[in-house]
Every structure is written in C-alpha cells, then in structure tokens.
Amino acid sequence: MFTRTVVDLSHFLLVVTLALAVTQWRASQRVLGFVSALGTSSLLTFVVHRIFEQALHLGLTPLDLPAEIVYAVCLGGGVFGSCGVIVLRRRFAAWNRVLRAVYL
C-alpha cells in the first residue's frame, strides 16, 4: 500500500510540476492561448466540440481509416472547430447573440 501511494503521488507531482513549468514559460503562453479561450467559453466549447467530433467521425467512417487517425482527426477537429466558433463569436456581435440564444 505504501509503494502504491508513493507511486501515485509521484505521478501527481510530476504532472503538477510539468503544468507549472508550461504555464510559467513565456513562449508557451502565446502558443497555448487557445486553452484560455476554450476555458472562458466552457459551455459553448462543451456543446460545440461534440458536434464537430461526431460530424467528423460520421464522415470518416466510410473511409475505413485506422482508429488512431480517426481519433486524431476528431480530436483536432473538436478543438480547432471550437476555437473557430469562439473567434467568430468574439468578432461578430450578431453571431454571439445567436449562440447565446441557442445554448443559454
């Protein structure tokens, strides 16, 4: 039990240390700016990413691609699609009102 606790704690501390290092590194703040955008619109991100991922999955199913490629495309499409919707929301007030009316 002691060994298992130490191993789990060391993994947790490793993840926390890596997270702190990435957040304090100035170059990563520009590169990972989309994470902040996803967090500020979390409800929108939650709803929209499922739509993008399911649409991509349905579109890729007939192609009979390996599961790893389908997963990578769906993950990337969900993240970047959500970011795109958030950028459009910030730029166009009418689009923002439509989205707020739909999901609020």
- Residue-wise pLDDT for 15-65, tens only, equals 888 888 877 777 666 777 777 777 777 778 888 889 999 999 999 999 989
Domain edges within the chain: 1-31, 33-104
Place of tokens 């703040």: 29
Residue 20 CA to residue 100 CA, distance in Å, equals 34
Say how far residue 32 (Cα) sits from the centre of its chain: 11
pTM as predicted? 0.61
CA 69 to chain centre: 17
Q: How many helices (H) and strands (E) does the chain have?
A: 6, 0
pLDDT at res. 6: 65
Q: How far apart are CA 86 and CA 39, in angstroms?
A: 11
pLDDT of residue 1: 67
